[in-house]
Chain A
Amino acid sequence: MSRPQPLVVGAGPAGVRAAETLVKAGLRPLVVDEAPACGGQIYRRPLVKDERDARALYGSEAGKAQRLHGAFAALAGRIEHWPRALVWNLRDGRADIAVAGESRAVAYDGLILATGASDRVLPVPGWTLPGVFTLGGAQVALKAQGCAIGQRVVFAGSGPLLYLVAWQYMKAGVKVVAVLDAAPLAAKRHLLRGLALAPDIVLRGMRFAAELRLNGVMLRHGICDLAFEGEGRVAGVRWREGRRERHLFCDGAGYGLSLRSETQLADLAGCAFAFNQRDRAFLPQRDPSGRTSVRGVYIAGDGAGIAGADAAELAGERAALALLEDRGLPHAPERAADLERKLARIGRFRDVLEAAFPFPAQWAARVKDETVVCRCEEVSAGALRNAVRDFSLDEINRLKAVSRIGMGRCQGRFCGAAAAELLAVETGRGVEAVGRLRSQPPVKPVPLTLMPREAAE
């Protein structure tokens, strides 16, 4: 009777479907999310209601967004939902949650981490200039705040998000000047393999590219030596194609190289990690059901490997079924097997996407010494390289200790991948050889005046 309820961290596609599945089985999970409303990054809600309907906000995904929002709304009264709340530490079945200026310690029995992803970047000159956003940030500005990042906007980098965000900006009436893709055009041939696995997604992507081109947006492939320029804010973008230097004026830029998993809480929960070649990152290990190496801890969605929103919904439900099974409750084995089949199929499609939008690892060696890698602690690539040489370092946590990379407000969430790539180049090894940053609480900044309170959970 007094057995604690499960805790679901994140109210995006994975978290919502996990909570829904637990509720159907008669549990009453606590759902904690940093955002004011459910939806995650992909189906994020406007902060203030405006005249845009779901179609305007989510485009082709409007139906999915509405269904997810609706599903979560239907759980009202049958779950605990703490919005605007941050799980800042996890330890031994207890979560520390910062909410409304106080820290509540919550005991849970079963933890589903649906922590999602954030943008992956490699530093390029000018990437910290005002007016340069990550692709995800540019999308959030549009979706949640109803504003564009500029009036003449360039999008650059890699990943499916590159074309999606550019298309969304164009549809919102913003002048999109160019889409600069790090991958060579030839890489896109891999998408043909994807036609069999996910024809709708491939065709939609092709439609985005075609419509962008039709509307006069310059599409370039195989770009390198990307640089954002401007005094005090972005005023232009420069890049190279082969031997040819190119330049465009712009007053806003979106930049990103696909996504990276948010893994800090899995680390704090004690989950084992392994290097994932496709994501070029150390990720919490999970089996097809979402079970981690720690009993009672499950991961669903992009938090343990990037697979997108559709996979996240399936994985959220699957992880919840695993929790139910481990708790001795009815757990729909046929449904679980079906979910795993669908997830495996998406996994195969992810391989295709990675081949079509490869991470430009070769950029790491070309990051200029004066370019800032860690914007929180203002550590340049040159400072990193000097630290590696002066102290004969070959491990990422030692590099952090000596250089402060990853010690700032973001705790390495935005600079960690880049630092690992640079360290790998500098020591002549693969990125898997340099290790991973160990997480420490708090996973995000918390006020010094955060007051402890024991919650009744």
Chain B
Amino acid sequence: MSTRLHVDVAVIGGGLVGSSAALALSQMGMSVALLDRRYCGAQASGVNYGGVRRQGRPPEQLPLSQRAHAVWPRLKALIGIDGEFLRSGHLKLAMSEADMASLEAYAAKVADCGLDLELLGHNELHRRFPWLGDAVGGSFCAGDGHANPRLVATGFAAAARRAGVHVLENTPVTGVARNGAGFALEAGEGLKLTAGTVINSAGAWADRFAAEFGEPVPLRRIYPSMVVTEPLEPVLTVNIGMEGGGIYARQVERGNCIVGGERAEALTDADFSRPRSDGALAIMSRAAALFPGLAKAQAIRFWSGTEAEMPDRNPVIGPSLTTPGLIHAFGFSGAGFQIAPGVGEVLAELVRDGRTTTPIEAFSIARFVAGTATDRTTLGSGAGKEQEPQRRGA
């Protein structure tokens, strides 16, 4: 079976970044093909923790994060579902005085970025959140929240399909090359595609495409590890993180609590992964200690999935340095969920205008190209801290 298709833009990878870019491009009047090797929204976009969180991000991510922040409450209008988005607030806990000092330093650093962080001492913390166990203090971001990761990317892909995007699932891209003014792609069983522009939003599989255009990147796969409780009466009223690692937790409207932390490991087929038993047990006992209200709860389900991580934990976003018409957007390092809808808009702008109103220089692939490394200290990536998933000693 051989099919030919010409589009303005071919998007490789139907995660939240690719799906939201495809929808935005389509709304700008461009013809788009969205290709996924399996199912849209089934990898990192669908298996992450679901935190919709600006707090804790390095300053260079905040303009993009603020842009995405404006998208989340508009999901219903944009894609027809609200994605179970709850603006619950995000509370980052300090378990020691040193952690509290670090939260204070972060709050000072991002004071002008519009996060409206509220620092809470021990007594105020426990007055406001009496269901919490031991913690020294915390930093609260009222505008942050959480959503259902399984719905949002899938919802963007479905909306893109309704908007006329060729959504091609189970269609792995087997070849992509420059072809005159554009690109020629081979995908699935006998699909031949030509496109003026290609977006590489292939997540944990994106390094392959970058390398094909002479831009190898040090991407590695990470696997989140989540535990879900049975549905409970409301216990956790906010999305919880922890300075310096540990666990993170939220409770969905239906009542299930989701607690993440640690890492899962890949199965023999490295596209699939499963939480480690010891890791899951560690998450469970920490959750039971931190949230006394969960002490009698049952864990009913674990999950994991595949995410892509860059060494500095910042994503790669922006035009290829080797190939005109190719744009990268991958490597969100376990912290892509909140900003992805903003990235989709930015990518669409890049395609249409050749530039974007949101600063993304810090995310250029240039930083991984020998000889062109940018000065990371001036970018102030804050790598190693304050990322999501937050974990100890990673």
Contacts and interface: CB of A to CB of B under 8 A. Distances in A.
A448 B277 contact: no
B132 interface: no
A377 B254 contact: yes
A427 B299 CA distance: 33
A426 to B, nearest CB: 15
Nearest to A378: B254
A450 interface: yes
Given A377-B254, A448-B284, A91 B294 contact: no
B277 A409 contact: no
A440 B303 contact: yes
Contact of B274 (A390, A395, A441, A445): A441
Nearest to A270: B268
A96 interface: yes
B254 A409 contact: no
- B interface SS class: mixed
Given A409-B230, A440-B301, A391 B281 contact: no
A392 B161 contact: yes
Contact of A448 (B39, B80, B254, B294): B294
Contact of A451 (B230, B254, B285, B302): B285
Contact of A401 (B150, B157, B298): B150
Contact of A390 (B158, B167, B297): B158
B267 A270 contact: yes
Contacts of B300: 408-409, 411, 442, 445
Nearest to A105: B277
A446 B80 CA distance: 36
Contact of A91 (B227, B228, B274): B274
Given A270-B268, A392-B161, A401-B150, A447 B299 contact: yes
Given A391-B158, A448-B287, A103 B299 contact: no
B150 A402 contact: yes
Nearest to A377: B254
Contacts of A390: 80, 158
Contact of B158 (A392, A404, A409, A442): A392
Interface string B252-290: 001000000000000110001011111011101101100
B383 interface: no
B295 interface: yes
B298 A446 contact: yes
Of A377, A440, A448, which is in contact with the most chain B CB atoms at under 10 Å from its CB?
A448
B18 interface: no
A130 to B, nearest CB: 19
A67 to B, nearest CB: 37
Nearest to B167: A392
A409 B231 CA distance: 9
A441 B275 contact: yes
Contacts of A408: 230, 300
B364 to A, nearest CB: 33
Interface in B226-256: 227-230, 254
B154 A391 contact: yes
B177 interface: no
B155 interface: yes
Contacts of A392: 158, 161, 167
B46 interface: yes
B125 interface: no
A350 interface: no
A102 to B, nearest CB: 10
A270 B304 CA distance: 16
A128 to B, nearest CB: 16
A404 B148 CA distance: 11
Contacts of A450: 281, 284-285, 299
A190 interface: no
A397 B46 CA distance: 12
B277 A398 contact: no
A391 B301 contact: no
Nearest to B287: A448
B250 to A, nearest CB: 15
Contacts of B277: 89, 91, 94, 96, 103, 105, 441, 452
A440 B281 contact: no
Contacts of A103: 277, 281
A144 interface: no
26 contacts: A91-B274, A91-B276, A270-B267, A392-B167, A401-B42, A408-B300, A438-B272, A440-B275, A440-B303, A440-B304, A441-B277, A441-B302, A445-B230, A445-B300, A446-B299, A447-B297, A447-B299, A448-B227, A448-B229, A448-B296, A448-B297, A449-B288, A450-B281, A452-B277, A452-B278, A452-B282
Given A440-B301, A450-B285, 15 more contacts: A103-B281, A270-B268, A392-B158, A401-B154, A408-B230, A438-B272, A442-B301, A446-B299, A447-B296, A448-B227, A448-B284, A448-B285, A449-B295, A451-B285, A452-B281
Interface of A: 89, 91, 94, 96, 103, 105, 268, 270, 377, 390-392, 395, 397-398, 401-402, 404, 407-409, 411, 438, 440-442, 445-452
Q: Which 4 pairs between the two chains have the least Cβ-Cβ distance?
A: A445-B298, A401-B150, A96-B277, A452-B281
